[in-house]
Structure 1
Amino acid sequence: MRIIDLHPGYDQIIQHIAEMLVDSFNEHSPDAWPTMESALEEVGESFGEDRISRVAVDDSGTVMGWAGAIKTYDGNVWELHPLVVSANARGHSIGRTLVEDIENQVFERGGLTLWVGCDDEDGLTSVGGLDLYPNPLEHLSKIRNLAAHPFEFYQKLGFVIVGIMPDANGPGKPDIYLAKRISGREGRERERLRNRRNKRNKRKKLKSYLAGDFQLNCQSRTMAEPAN
């Protein structure tokens, strides 16, 4: 698989991407791109000056996924939009790879933060289907994933929840905001190594604790046993 810039002249690829948008969002966000016309318009907008548009293709040129980003706040912050993976390619880390590629693209452009909005239009989380006012942040602090909502996918990639817009898509249909600091490939590798070290240290501490607890139990049992 390779990830390349999407250009206006890639007619066949653009057609495949538009079909993916319509098919992939039809179930949970049917109003996002309900027609091929709206999907093709979305792809066309991704060629703007302040946009990033990247497509994942396999060795035969088949489209596996598409991701884009929109420049905001004078380039300090970029919005990840959209992200879509072909139904046939899901479960193979295509989405993760596309997000990491967008991070690299944003990093190279001097971006500091990447954010994404995750709509909940059909009650996939504990904040969906509710009147979140007057305390939306209280509801957000207790958010639970009820049915494979993608916000946890982004959390696994280092994003954190930073806010929520109640009723963004209609009553009881909020948009959940997540963001992360951009560090590029080297920064992500350092983060992975740090996480690995932390996990090793936790395992060592657990082993040490268990060993000490075992010795303490043995000593206590020895002291408690009556002498013959």
Structure 2
Amino acid sequence: MTIIDLKPEQQKLVEQVAIILRDAFVHIPETWDTLDEARAEVMESFQPDRISRVALDENGDAVGWIGGIPQYDGNVYELHPLAVKPSHQRRGIGRMLVADLEDRVRTRGALTVVLGTDDEFDGTNLYGQDLYPDIAAWITNIKNLHNHPYEFYQKCGYVIYGIVPDANGIGRPDIMMAKRM
């Protein structure tokens, strides 16, 4: 497995990454429903100061992609997005991409990485609930019901620092996570 910078002139890889992004999130409504939407997301990752990294298999084909967006004058980076080809999930590629991104942001002087992991598919006990008025209790008592990725990020060292109730519509929260670099 090799991880390299993804560049706009690498059209074959850009197209493969767009397909991975669309396919990896097909179970979540209103994400990257079309290949054009996925391509647009990939192209946004080439903006100045952003990080765009792609994992390649032994044939040089894309099997995963991760992006990083600087915030707070570079003290913080948002991990966005992370996508692994569905046929290659649960093989450690996501973990390698996260570790690679963390190495990159450390060299840029970042202190923290943040991410949001939406629950739009009944992945946790938060889905469909009115999280007010005691958001902190919901954070403390979160349960993974249907393979929600927040536990993957916890295994990578991230902690939940908040929830944005109704971020994606009534009862569809965003789970906010962070890790000190």
TM-score (norm 2): 0.97
Pairing of 1:60-139 with structure 2 (within 5 A)? 60-139=59-138
Report if aligned partners of 1:52, 1:68 keep a CA contact under 8 Å in 2: yes
Tell me the equivalent position of 2:26.
Answer: 26
Pairing of 1:142-153 with structure 2 (within 5 A)? 142-153=141-152
- Runs of 4+ aligned residues of structure 1 deviating over 3 Å after TM superposition are none
Q: Give 1:129 shift.
A: 0.9
Q: Distance in 1 between matches of 2:163 and 2:84?
A: 25
Q: 1:39-86 deviations in whole A, cap 9, x for unaligned? A: 110000000112100000012111110001000011111000000001
Pairing of 1:1-228 with structure 2 (within 5 A)? 1-27=1-27, 29-182=28-181
Q: Which runs of 5+ in 1 are unaligned?
A: 183-228
Q: Give 1:140 shift.
A: 1.6
2:161 counterpart letter in structure 1: V
Q: Distance in 2 between matches of 1:47 and 1:108?
A: 19
Report if aligned partners of 2:118, 2:172 keep a CA contact under 8 Å in 1: yes
Q: Give 1:116 shift.
A: 1.0
Q: Give 1:123 shift.
A: 1.5
- SS of equivalent residue, structure 1 residue 42: helix
- SS of equivalent residue, structure 2 residue 101: helix
TM-score (norm 1): 0.78
Report if aligned partners of 1:115, 1:180 keep a CA contact under 8 Å in 2: yes
- SS of equivalent residue, structure 2 residue 3: strand
Q: Which runs of 5+ in 2 are unaligned?
A: none
Identity of aligned residues (%): 51
Q: Distance in 2 between matches of 1:111 and 1:91?
A: 28
1:8 counterpart letter in structure 2: P
Which of 1 and 2 has higher RCO (CA within 8 Å, sep 6+)? Answer: 2
Report if aligned partners of 2:79, 2:115 keep a CA contact under 8 Å in 1: yes
Q: Distance in 1 between matches of 2:21 and 2:101?
A: 18
Q: Which structure is higher in helix share?
A: 1
1:173 counterpart letter in structure 2: R
Report if aligned partners of 2:29, 2:120 keep a CA contact under 8 Å in 1: no
1:123 counterpart letter in structure 2: D
Tell me the equivalent position of 1:216.
Answer: none
Q: Which structure is larger by alpha-carbon Rg, 1 or 2? A: 1
Q: Distance in 1 between matches of 2:70 and 2:61?
A: 28
Report if aligned partners of 1:5, 1:53 keep a CA contact under 8 Å in 2: yes
